[in-house]
Structure 1
Amino acid sequence: MESEESYLAALRETACALVEEVMRNAQESLRIEHISTSEKSGQDYKAQNIQWIPCKEFYVELGVTQIEEYISTWEFHESWLHCTDFLKEEEIEFSKLFHYRTRWSIPTCRKPIPRATACVYFTIQISEIKPKVRENCILIFSHVSRGPFPTCYCVSGLLVPF
């Protein structure tokens, strides 16, 4: 029994390492493709950010507003509609995590309730030990899922300055 558990743990660890390597390679490939595309088009895309509130002013509804404001800086087709929901609050050592989900879909006149959706999960981390007047919220893309079978793509990225 113990050897089976250690085998499964080793298998999980190997799978995680493989997924991380694949994600790094995919990100590098996309980065290289973006560089070559922007060189061809002569455009240089700059990621946009928003003015994040200080931690002392944070509350759940404002988290939804801040995520919506951040999403408004993204480029996407106008037919995509989205809705951001608060999921849960979690306390960890020295900070609080606020989990949110943004669901995306393309409703049409024929199908106002679409069968397929895409979700982006966000976590806002509020430090309890850093100065409360600083912009030290951290926004993390938790994972992305498509359709009824959530496939996790760990994209963990620091988007907000400490």
Structure 2
Amino acid sequence: MDGDTILLDAGSTTLQLARLLKANKKQPLTVVTNALNVAWELAFVEAIDLILTGGHLRHRTLSSVGPIADNTLLGLYVDKVFLATNSLDVERGLTTPNIYEAQTKQKMVKAGREVIVLADHSKFGRISLGFVCPITAIHRLITDPGAPQEDLARLKERGVEVIVATRD
């Protein structure tokens, strides 16, 4: 929506969302991100006011994490958070293998009015070391047709809006 403020987490699916935003260059938008590749993708789009969190760079994910990123996020409030995840378990919630990344993602969840998780089918039924948030913190999940139908039904029962994206 025009004029929205969104937060884009680091991840392959959020990078794809950034590319879609870039293709729609006329929509005025404020984007906050901790991802170097997302920032680079949007850096030359004049309609987008881009804010970077700063922080300690995780080379593997090109994400900024740690106290600097966390402190930046504590001072922000956005309309929508688009969160990536390594692992999604209906009972255990969202988790990630890196505890510093988990802490930064926790601040992202708190910074948003609406939390939207982007997770393909490979993330389901997995649990990693660092806890991010319970399923109840998620408003919407966007996934692909390969996601386990039983898990999608259980998410809906817990109040999560589920959107299964197709390539059409």
TM-score normalised by L of structure 1: 0.25
Larger radius of gyration: 1
- From the two aligned structures, give the one with the greater strand fraction: 2
TM-score normalised by L of structure 2: 0.25
